[in-house]
């Protein structure tokens, strides 16, 4: 078994391949793959309870030099592609980030005017 490379910072962080799972949806006796879930675990200090509801707010940061845009942008990207991102954390125990990627291509609104013009 290959050990994941540690990331910078306190605690141990790893993307656990055993935690990546497909959520199936039964239809007429056949299973249809709906989402692929990736769970990223962190055994660091955790996130303070008061900060959890604000994590995805633009410009919210617990770091003095942070911009507070990382999770906000990540959430926007996931939503644009029909996915979700969620965070669960306990102080002193670590943090878990759940990323749910849709397995079917979603045709959402286009972001650029050039795409609408057929360029």
pLDDT in tens, 64-90: 999 999 999 999 999 999 999 999 999
- Domain range summary for the chain, segments of one domain joined by +: 13-104
Listed in order, strand segments (DSSP E) in the chain are 13-15, 21-27, 30-42, 84-90, 94-102
pTM of the model as a whole: 0.62
Comparison of pLDDT for 105 and 83, the residue scoring more: 83
For 11-54, how does the pLDDT look when each residue is reduced to its tens digit (9 = 90+)?
A: 444 454 444 444 444 455 555 558 899 999 999 999 999 999 99
**Architecture in CATH for domain 13-104:** 2-Layer Sandwich (3.30)
Is 106:81 a contact under the CB 8 Å cutoff?
yes
Distance CA 9, CA 44 (A): 8
The CA distance from 39 to 113, in Å, is: 35
């Amino acid at each position: 078994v290959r050990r994941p490379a540690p990331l910078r910072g306190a605690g141990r962080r790893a993307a656990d391949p055993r935690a990546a799972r497909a959520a199936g949806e039964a239809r007429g006796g056949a299973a249809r793959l709906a989402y692929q879930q990736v769970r990223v675990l962190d055994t660091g200090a955790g996130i303070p309870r008061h900060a959890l509801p604000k994590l995805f707010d633009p410009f919210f940061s617990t770091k003095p030099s942070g911009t507070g845009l990382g999770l906000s942008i990540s959430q926007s990207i996931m939503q644009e592609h029909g996915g979700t991102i969620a965070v669960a954390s306990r102080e002193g125990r670590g943090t878990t980030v759940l990323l749910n990627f849709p397995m079917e291509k979603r045709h959402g609104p286009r972001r650029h005017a050039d795409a609408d013009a057929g360029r």
